[in-house]
Amino acid sequence: MAGSGDPWSYLKPSSKLTLRALHDGYSLVDIQNMFQISEDDLLEKIRLLADANLVKKEHGKYSPAFLIVDAAEATNTFNHAKRFGRIIADELVNNLKEIATKFSQLEISEQYTLHELSLVLVGSKILDIGLLEALARDRTLLGPAPTRPSPNRPDAQYYLFMIDGPPEYLGKYGENSEDLPWANWTLVTFGQNVVQGKKNHPRENLEARCNEILKKQKLKKLEELADMLQIPVLSQRDSLAWRETAKNVAHQILLKIKENEDELLHFYSSLKVSKCANSSVGEFMCWYFHVAYAWAIDFLVEEKIIHMPDEKFGSMIIYSEAPEGLLAS
């Protein structure tokens, strides 16, 4: 999921099987027979999914209302995204001089090198958040996230993908942010949630430790929290300055992507998923660029431009005066 909302309470394991069966075109009778459930039980599952706007009924037929990709097309897309990952990485390299100059103007550059902080400042803030925000502002490839209100989240607006394949087919990197008890300050972690098929416990442990400290102790300054967690703080001035840098560099990457826009749209139109009435090009592109920027990060790690810690994630306390991410615009 990318955006704001809570579809998870509707997505039980059996619901995922029902969604896949509807996606593959099976009739309700076929699904009843496959799963050995009654018509009433099946219709109740579908009703719950429809309440979350995850299923639509058109011309008397139920179908998923979000992106579902089978194994063959997921593999095809993952491999295709490698080329755009290379385009993204190369354009980032073209902007390295500007990035280094802007970093040298930050207060934090007196304590850390850009390389030490590159996974968060470059990987997360430029290649993840920055690039997806740039795509959302441009609107030609990435339209607004669909509104999917549900009884417990009437304000929900998000993209949702169900991909048949290994975890990296979803894009193996991502940012988690935890609001702190100081206005506009957040704990940010960025990296892999799954490492060699298992949960990234060091990342989970840091986030849990932060919450435990905040529950048990009344800290006066966020620097105290940072010291206890042993992570850096990007000052308010630095945070705002770096957001502008990330925005500018991400825009340059977007311009390079748009030079190849026709190729990307042609690839999308060649897929079966593009013919599904309930799948939008925006939802596909949101997924696609999560995969592409992950390829870009891997290239840049290989080339020693981004530093990948042994724990496969980086962390920092950052200030932000406005929402970040796909819904920020």
Which tens digits make up the pLDDT trace of 246-291? 999 999 999 999 999 999 999 999 999 998 756 679 999 999 999 9
Predicted pLDDT of residue 148: 87
181 close to 169: Cβ distance less than 8 angstroms: no
Question: What pTM does this model have?
Answer: 0.94
Q: In this structure, which amino acid lies at residue 34?
A: M
Per-residue pLDDT band at 10 (split at 50, 70, 90)? confident
Tell me what percent of the residues of the chain surpass a pLDDT of 70. 98
| Bridge partner list, 56 | 63
CA distance 113 to 219: 28
Predicted pLDDT of residue 46: 94
Kindly report the length of the chain. Answer: 329
The topology (CATH level 3) of 2-65 is: Arc Repressor Mutant, subunit A (1.10.10)
Q: Kindly report which listed range (29-38, 113-122, 136-145) carries the lowest average pLDDT score.
A: 136-145
pLDDT reading at 326 higher than 70: no
Task: For the beta carbon of residue 59, count every other beta carbon within 10 angstroms.
Answer: 5
pLDDT reading at 172 higher than 50: yes
Domain(s) of CATH 1.10.10.10: residues in the chain: 2-65
**Phi, psi of 189, deg, nearest 5:** -120, 145
Predicted pLDDT of residue 188: 98
pLDDT reading at 39 higher than 90: yes
Contacts 24+ apart (CB under 8 A), 133-138: 133/247, 133/250, 133/324, 133/325, 133/326, 133/328, 133/329, 134/247, 134/250, 134/251, 134/253, 134/254, 135/254, 135/257, 135/285, 135/289, 136/326, 136/327, 136/328, 136/329, 137/329, 138/254, 138/258
pLDDT reading at 149 higher than 90: no
**Interval 30-55 mean pLDDT:** 92
Predicted pLDDT of residue 11: 84
**Interval 297-324 mean pLDDT:** 95
CA distance 162 to 152: 22
Query: What tens digit of pLDDT does each residue of 174-226 get?
Result: 999 999 999 999 999 999 999 999 999 999 999 999 999 999 999 999 999 99
Query: What tens digit of pLDDT does each residue of 89-109 get?
Result: 999 999 999 999 999 999 999
Per-residue pLDDT band at 329 (split at 50, 70, 90)? very low
Q: Tell me the average pLDDT of the chain.
A: 93
pLDDT reading at 308 higher than 60: yes
